[in-house]
Structure 1
Amino acid sequence: MNYTYLLINLAVIFFPLVLSFDKKVHFFSKWKFVLPSILITGLVFLIWDVLFTKLNVWSFNPDYLIGINLLGLPLEEILFFLTVPYACVFIYECLNAYFPKNDLQKYSLALSNLFLGLCVAILFFGYNRWYTLINFGFLFMVLAYVEYVNVAFRFMYKFYRAYLVSLIPFYIVNGFLTSIPVVMYNDKQNLGFRVGTIPFEDHFYLMGLLLMNIYLYEVFKSKGGKSQA
């Protein structure tokens, strides 16, 4: 069906958008911080996406697309970088509002070090595959910067909780995209290991995408709070 990828995008954002007016979370009041975060991160990932499409790291099945292309990418793929980050930042804010107590705080640095070590190990073995190289290289740089360079914002314990919860819709959405398939991966450019039909790298692609969005969101929110003081 030509509307498959578009419908998946709409399904991803529907409930987060409707529930943005929840009285406790009041997410709509934070749109001025969310939207620039999504747009800046989306631009970075779109450049990456255009490059990977040209290098045949992945491709898109025209049977499930409406046929509108921009910069060589299906319109639905561009919308993906709006709908998925919005939904994930919404999850992040909901968890913070409804469950302010977070026991991950004392383990967040250890988790970050674990993921940094994992990035180094995978880069050592997979440096000759485009998806593996760029994906884990990007995650390493962003994670190291957030955790060890710009230490003004201590939010990683909240980030890891949101990431874990976001994996639930991730498996549903990405499961559809990779099993139909809407998005087709060239296994010569990744590790060739999949969880079901989902490439192993996709889990950390989500982590990098979510981390950059939430970092920028926290930065803009902090600056917005100071300007109102």
Structure 2
Amino acid sequence: MNYTYLLINIAVIFFPLVLSFDKKVHFFSKWKFVLPAIFITGGFFLIWDLLFVKLNVWSFNPDYILGLKFLGLPLEEILFFLTVPYACIFIYECLNAYFPKDSLQKYSFSVSNLLLGLCIAMLFLGYNRWYTVINFGFLFLVLGYVEYANIEFRFMYKFYRAYVVALIPFYIVNGFLTAIPVVMYNNNENLGFRVGSIPFEDHFYLMGLLLLNVYLYEFFKNRVAIKTKVA
């Protein structure tokens, strides 16, 4: 069905959008920070997406998309970089609102170091595969910057917590996208290991996408907070 990918996008954002007006989270009041983070990150990932289409890393099944394309990408794929980050930042903020304690923050640095080590291992293991190299290379750079160069604000415990929760809808949504399949992967450009129908790399693609979004979201919030204190 040609509306499949579009319907998946709608399903992803429907409840986060409706619940954005929840009195405790008040997520709609944070749109001024959310939207710039999404658009900046989305612009980068769209370039990444275009590159991967050109390199035949992945492609889109014409049976499940509308056929409307911009710069060679399906409309639904462009919407993906709006709906998924919005839903993930919403999860992040909901957890922060309902579970504000961060007693496990002291362990987040160790988790980050383990992930940085995993990135290095994956770069060596998949050095000749585009998806593996670019995916883990990007995560290594962003994660390394956030943990070692970003001293203005710390949020990694909250991020990891949100990421683990976001894996639940991830397995549902990405499971559909890869099982039908809507998105078709060239296994010559990834490690060939899958969790169900989902490529192993996709888990860390989500992590990189969410991390850059959350970092920019927190950056914009922090900048306004500093200006408010100075004023």
Which interval holds the TM-score relative to the shorter structure? over 0.9
Rounded Cα–Cα distance in structure 2 between residues aligned with 1:7 and 1:227: 41
Rounded Cα–Cα distance in structure 1 between residues aligned with 2:151 and 2:204: 22
1:54 alignment counterpart: 54
Rounded Cα–Cα distance in structure 1 between residues aligned with 2:182 and 2:17: 24
The answer to whether the 8 Å contact 1:104/1:161 transfers is no
Rounded Cα–Cα distance in structure 1 between residues aligned with 2:22 and 2:120: 41
Q: Please state whether the residue corresponding to 1:163 is helix, strand or coil.
A: helix
Amino acid at match of 1:123: L
**More displaced, 163-172 or 219-228?**
219-228
- The answer to whether the aligner puts 1:24 opposite 2:24 as a matched pair is yes
2:153 alignment counterpart: 153
Aligned residue-pair number: 229
1:195 alignment counterpart: 195
Q: Which whole-Å deviations, capped at 9, do the CAs of 1:94-138 have from their partners, x for residues lacking one?
A: 000001123431210000000000000010110110000000000
Q: How far is the alpha carbon of 1:227 from its aligned partner?
A: 2.9
1:92 alignment counterpart: 92
Q: Please state whether the residue corresponding to 2:59 is helix, strand or coil.
A: strand
Rounded Cα–Cα distance in structure 1 between residues aligned with 2:141 and 2:28: 31
Amino acid at match of 2:44: V
Rounded Cα–Cα distance in structure 1 between residues aligned with 2:216 and 2:94: 18
Q: How far is the alpha carbon of 1:193 from its aligned partner?
A: 0.1
Q: Which whole-Å deviations, capped at 9, do the CAs of 1:64-119 have from their partners, x for residues lacking one?
A: 00110001100000000000000000000000000112343121000000000000
Rounded Cα–Cα distance in structure 2 between residues aligned with 1:20 and 1:135: 31
The answer to whether the 8 Å contact 1:104/1:158 transfers is no
Rounded Cα–Cα distance in structure 2 between residues aligned with 1:15 and 1:33: 20
2:211 alignment counterpart: 211
TM-score (norm 2): 0.98
Q: Please state whether the residue corresponding to 1:143 is helix, strand or coil.
A: helix
Rounded Cα–Cα distance in structure 2 between residues aligned with 1:81 and 1:202: 14
In the alignment, structure 1 segments of 5+ residues that lack a partner are none
1:183 alignment counterpart: 183
Rounded Cα–Cα distance in structure 2 between residues aligned with 1:103 and 1:78: 37
TM-score (norm 1): 0.99
Q: How far is the alpha carbon of 1:165 from its aligned partner?
A: 0.2
Rounded Cα–Cα distance in structure 1 between residues aligned with 2:98 and 2:150: 27
Q: How far is the alpha carbon of 1:211 from its aligned partner?
A: 0.2
Rounded Cα–Cα distance in structure 2 between residues aligned with 1:33 and 1:127: 36
2:135 alignment counterpart: 135
Q: Please state whether the residue corresponding to 1:100 is helix, strand or coil.
A: coil
1:79 alignment counterpart: 79
1:162 alignment counterpart: 162
The answer to whether the 8 Å contact 1:139/1:207 transfers is yes
Rounded Cα–Cα distance in structure 1 between residues aligned with 2:77 and 2:189: 20
Q: How far is the alpha carbon of 1:150 from its aligned partner?
A: 1.5
**More displaced, 165-174 or 216-225?**
216-225
Q: Please state whether the residue corresponding to 2:104 is helix, strand or coil.
A: helix
1:113 alignment counterpart: 113
Identity %: 80
Rounded Cα–Cα distance in structure 2 between residues aligned with 1:30 and 1:104: 25
The answer to whether the 8 Å contact 1:38/1:81 transfers is yes
